[in-house]
Structure 1
Protein backbone atom coordinates (compact mmCIF):
# COMPACT_ATOMS: atom_id res chain seq x y z
CA UNK A 1 0.00 0.00 0.00
CA UNK A 2 1.27 3.45 -0.87
CA UNK A 3 1.99 5.89 1.96
CA UNK A 4 -0.40 8.71 2.84
CA UNK A 5 0.91 12.21 3.52
CA UNK A 6 -1.08 14.32 5.98
CA UNK A 7 -0.60 18.04 6.54
CA UNK A 8 -2.09 19.49 9.74
CA UNK A 9 -2.41 23.26 9.58
CA UNK A 10 -3.80 25.93 11.91
CA UNK A 11 -6.89 27.46 10.27
CA UNK A 12 -6.92 30.35 12.75
CA UNK A 13 -3.39 31.27 11.63
CA UNK A 14 -4.46 31.35 7.98
CA UNK A 15 -2.15 28.53 6.88
CA UNK A 16 -4.56 26.70 4.56
CA UNK A 17 -3.07 28.24 1.40
CA UNK A 18 0.45 27.27 2.49
CA UNK A 19 -0.73 23.71 3.19
CA UNK A 20 -2.56 23.52 -0.15
CA UNK A 21 0.52 24.76 -2.02
CA UNK A 22 2.72 22.15 -0.34
CA UNK A 23 0.14 19.43 -1.05
CA UNK A 24 0.09 20.43 -4.73
CA UNK A 25 3.88 20.32 -4.94
CA UNK A 26 4.01 16.90 -3.27
CA UNK A 27 1.27 15.46 -5.48
CA UNK A 28 2.97 16.78 -8.61
CA UNK A 29 6.31 15.26 -7.63
CA UNK A 30 5.08 12.00 -6.05
CA UNK A 31 1.82 11.24 -7.89
CA UNK A 32 2.92 7.64 -8.56
CA UNK A 33 4.50 7.13 -5.12
CA UNK A 34 1.84 8.23 -2.60
CA UNK A 35 -1.77 7.31 -1.94
CA UNK A 36 -2.54 11.01 -1.61
CA UNK A 37 -2.05 14.14 0.46
CA UNK A 38 -4.67 14.98 3.06
CA UNK A 39 -5.14 18.45 4.53
CA UNK A 40 -6.49 18.52 8.09
CA UNK A 41 -7.35 21.59 10.14
CA UNK A 42 -5.51 21.26 13.46
CA UNK A 43 -7.27 21.43 16.81
CA UNK A 44 -4.12 22.92 18.36
CA UNK A 45 -3.44 26.60 17.62
CA UNK A 46 -0.21 27.20 15.73
CA UNK A 47 0.20 23.61 14.57
CA UNK A 48 1.77 22.91 11.21
CA UNK A 49 2.89 19.30 10.99
CA UNK A 50 3.56 16.97 8.09
CA UNK A 51 3.19 13.23 8.56
CA UNK A 52 3.66 10.13 6.46
CA UNK A 53 1.49 7.26 7.69
CA UNK A 54 1.13 8.91 11.12
CA UNK A 55 4.89 9.47 11.52
CA UNK A 56 5.85 13.12 11.90
CA UNK A 57 8.48 14.11 9.35
CA UNK A 58 8.30 17.87 9.99
CA UNK A 59 6.84 19.93 12.81
CA UNK A 60 6.88 23.74 12.72
CA UNK A 61 7.07 24.15 16.50
CA UNK A 62 9.91 21.66 16.85
CA UNK A 63 11.91 23.20 13.99
CA UNK A 64 10.97 26.80 14.73
CA UNK A 65 10.07 27.46 11.09
CA UNK A 66 8.14 26.20 8.09
CA UNK A 67 9.82 23.74 5.72
CA UNK A 68 11.24 24.92 2.43
CA UNK A 69 9.56 23.04 -0.43
CA UNK A 70 12.90 21.61 -1.58
CA UNK A 71 13.58 20.30 1.93
CA UNK A 72 10.06 18.84 2.20
CA UNK A 73 10.37 17.02 -1.11
CA UNK A 74 13.67 15.52 0.03
CA UNK A 75 12.15 14.38 3.33
CA UNK A 76 9.20 12.75 1.56
CA UNK A 77 11.39 11.20 -1.14
CA UNK A 78 13.71 9.64 1.44
CA UNK A 79 10.74 7.72 2.85
CA UNK A 80 8.46 6.97 -0.11
CA UNK A 81 10.96 6.49 -2.97
CA UNK A 82 14.61 6.77 -1.84
CA UNK A 83 16.06 6.25 -5.32
CA UNK A 84 13.95 8.93 -7.01
CA UNK A 85 15.77 11.89 -8.54
CA UNK A 86 14.33 15.27 -7.69
CA UNK A 87 16.24 17.06 -10.42
CA UNK A 88 17.20 20.59 -9.39
CA UNK A 89 15.80 19.97 -5.88
CA UNK A 90 18.61 17.47 -5.28
CA UNK A 91 21.36 19.98 -5.90
CA UNK A 92 23.06 21.30 -2.76
CA UNK A 93 22.66 24.96 -1.90
CA UNK A 94 25.91 26.92 -1.89
Structure 2
Protein backbone atom coordinates (compact mmCIF):
# COMPACT_ATOMS: atom_id res chain seq x y z
CA UNK A 1 0.00 0.00 0.00
CA UNK A 2 1.17 3.53 -0.75
CA UNK A 3 2.23 5.61 2.25
CA UNK A 4 0.20 8.40 3.82
CA UNK A 5 1.70 11.73 4.79
CA UNK A 6 0.15 13.35 7.85
CA UNK A 7 0.74 16.99 8.72
CA UNK A 8 -0.08 17.72 12.35
CA UNK A 9 -0.32 21.46 12.92
CA UNK A 10 -1.30 23.85 15.71
CA UNK A 11 -4.61 25.53 14.80
CA UNK A 12 -4.19 28.10 17.60
CA UNK A 13 -0.94 29.25 15.97
CA UNK A 14 -2.68 29.79 12.64
CA UNK A 15 -0.67 27.19 10.76
CA UNK A 16 -3.53 25.64 8.77
CA UNK A 17 -2.69 27.57 5.59
CA UNK A 18 0.97 26.53 5.80
CA UNK A 19 -0.08 22.89 6.26
CA UNK A 20 -2.58 23.10 3.37
CA UNK A 21 0.06 24.61 1.08
CA UNK A 22 2.53 21.84 1.91
CA UNK A 23 -0.17 19.21 1.40
CA UNK A 24 -0.98 20.67 -2.02
CA UNK A 25 2.67 20.66 -3.05
CA UNK A 26 3.15 17.06 -1.93
CA UNK A 27 -0.04 15.86 -3.64
CA UNK A 28 1.00 17.57 -6.87
CA UNK A 29 4.55 16.21 -6.83
CA UNK A 30 3.77 12.71 -5.54
CA UNK A 31 0.33 12.09 -7.05
CA UNK A 32 1.25 8.52 -8.03
CA UNK A 33 3.43 7.74 -4.99
CA UNK A 34 1.19 8.65 -2.03
CA UNK A 35 -2.10 7.23 -0.84
CA UNK A 36 -3.08 10.49 0.84
CA UNK A 37 -1.91 13.62 2.58
CA UNK A 38 -3.96 14.39 5.67
CA UNK A 39 -4.14 17.47 7.86
CA UNK A 40 -4.56 16.91 11.59
CA UNK A 41 -5.19 19.76 14.04
CA UNK A 42 -2.95 19.16 17.04
CA UNK A 43 -4.13 19.21 20.61
CA UNK A 44 -0.61 20.31 21.62
CA UNK A 45 0.13 24.02 21.20
CA UNK A 46 3.00 24.86 18.88
CA UNK A 47 3.18 21.48 17.19
CA UNK A 48 4.01 21.17 13.50
CA UNK A 49 5.10 17.64 12.70
CA UNK A 50 5.09 15.84 9.37
CA UNK A 51 4.86 12.04 9.32
CA UNK A 52 5.05 9.37 6.65
CA UNK A 53 2.72 6.73 8.01
CA UNK A 54 3.81 6.88 11.68
CA UNK A 55 7.46 7.83 11.08
CA UNK A 56 8.21 11.45 12.08
CA UNK A 57 9.83 13.02 9.04
CA UNK A 58 10.10 16.63 10.21
CA UNK A 59 9.34 18.23 13.57
CA UNK A 60 9.38 22.00 14.02
CA UNK A 61 10.48 21.82 17.65
CA UNK A 62 13.15 19.17 17.06
CA UNK A 63 14.52 20.90 13.96
CA UNK A 64 14.07 24.44 15.28
CA UNK A 65 12.23 25.72 12.20
CA UNK A 66 9.65 24.94 9.55
CA UNK A 67 10.76 22.90 6.52
CA UNK A 68 11.34 24.58 3.20
CA UNK A 69 9.10 23.00 0.55
CA UNK A 70 12.14 21.92 -1.51
CA UNK A 71 13.59 20.18 1.55
CA UNK A 72 10.27 18.53 2.40
CA UNK A 73 9.89 17.16 -1.12
CA UNK A 74 13.39 15.70 -0.92
CA UNK A 75 12.64 14.05 2.44
CA UNK A 76 9.37 12.56 1.16
CA UNK A 77 10.97 11.44 -2.11
CA UNK A 78 13.77 9.68 -0.24
CA UNK A 79 11.16 7.62 1.65
CA UNK A 80 8.56 6.89 -1.03
CA UNK A 81 10.40 6.84 -4.37
CA UNK A 82 14.17 7.46 -4.14
CA UNK A 83 14.62 7.28 -7.92
CA UNK A 84 12.05 10.01 -8.65
CA UNK A 85 13.58 13.15 -10.18
CA UNK A 86 12.35 16.39 -8.59
CA UNK A 87 13.55 18.82 -11.22
CA UNK A 88 14.52 22.14 -9.65
CA UNK A 89 13.76 20.74 -6.17
CA UNK A 90 16.59 18.22 -6.41
CA UNK A 91 19.69 18.93 -4.34
CA UNK A 92 22.79 19.68 -6.36
TM normalised by structure 1 equals: 0.96
Alpha-carbon distance between aligned partners in 2 of 1:34 and 1:13, rounded to the nearest angstrom: 27
Alpha-carbon distance between aligned partners in 1 of 2:32 and 2:79, rounded to the nearest angstrom: 14
* SS of aligned partner of 1:11: coil
Structure 2 unaligned segments of length 5 or more: list them: none
How far 1:83 moved relative to its partner? 0.2
Task: Give the alignment of 1:11-90 within 5 angstroms.
Answer: 11-90=11-90
How far 1:43 moved relative to its partner? 0.6
TM normalised by structure 2 equals: 0.98
Select the structure that is richer in helix.
1
How far 1:91 moved relative to its partner? 3.8
Give 4+ residue runs of structure 1 displaced > 3 Å after superposition. Answer: none
Q: How many pairs align?
A: 92
| Corresponding position of 1:2 | 2
Alpha-carbon distance between aligned partners in 2 of 1:64 and 1:54, rounded to the nearest angstrom: 21
